[in-house]
Amino acid sequence: MNIVAIIPARAGSKEIKNKNLKKFGGKSLVKKSVEEALKSKKFSKIIVTSDSIKILKEVNHFDQKQIQKILRPKSLSKDKSSIYGVMVHAVKEYEKKHNTKIDIVVLLQPVTPFRTHKHISKVINYHNKVNSDAVITITKFDYPVYWGLKKNKNNKVNNFIKNGNKFTRRQDVPQIYKPAGLVYSIKKNFLLKIHKTGKILPLGDTRGVEVSIKDAINLDSKLQYKIAKAIY
């Protein structure tokens, strides 16, 4: 089974400058991602794809036999660039260079500072066991989705989910999950298929592995960054 990790780390980030190079425990998020991937001992190769030479140099001290660095084209480094497009590009570059085929692609986005090799191994082991199209990490919402609201231009609010306000106690609300972002394990052929749809997971037979709300912190805003640093 040829399993490859893809770590996407572009230079541009709007709210948090140089986000992928932010340090936790003295190590940049890119270095931490590579380190945990190596500790899992699950991958034939760890691919770091970036539009930044500086970011690619972050992984120079690792054994280069285990790492493949890809300088990503600018067309795949924009705010609206599809992460699946980035993954497909990396897959094609890998298969061309090594003249071999990938079975499973594992996406490890650097902006989840609490992801460890244990999360990675758990997802991949489960994927091998169930043989589904994909396995993703999921986590609970910290507020009942059924109580979510929408408003019109006059600021009138209504339930986002029809009859969501029929639940008067939090403990009676059905448990809803959201993608956690730590690990995405996808069969290569299924990745190629979903990339063409223009949609995102879950699609097909996608399974979920639950992680804690703390572990699922993603650095999408300055507030999340401050919270993550304080917890770390």
Q: Residue 228: what pLDDT?
A: 96
The structural domains of the chain, with segments of one domain joined by +, span 3-139+177-231, 142-175
Measured distance CA(75)–CA(77) in Å, rounded: 6
Matching CATH number, 3-139+177-231, of 3.90.550.10, 1.10.10.10, 3.50.50.60, 3.20.20.70: 3.90.550.10
| 9, 65, 159, 173 from 151: Cα distances, Å | 36, 54, 9, 22
Residue type at 199 in one-letter notation:
K
Measured distance CA(47)–CA(33) in Å, rounded: 11
Q: Residue 76: what pLDDT?
A: 84
pLDDT digit string (tens) for the chain, length 232 residues: 999 999 999 987 778 889 999 999 999 999 999 999 999 999 999 999 999 999 999 999 999 999 999 999 888 887 788 999 999 999 999 999 999 999 999 999 999 999 999 999 999 999 999 999 999 999 999 999 999 999 999 999 999 999 999 999 999 999 999 999 999 999 999 999 999 999 999 999 999 999 999 999 999 999 999 999 999 9
CA 7 to chain centre: 9
Q: Residue 31: what pLDDT?
A: 97
Q: Residue 78: what pLDDT?
A: 79
Measured distance CA(226)–CA(232) in Å, rounded: 10
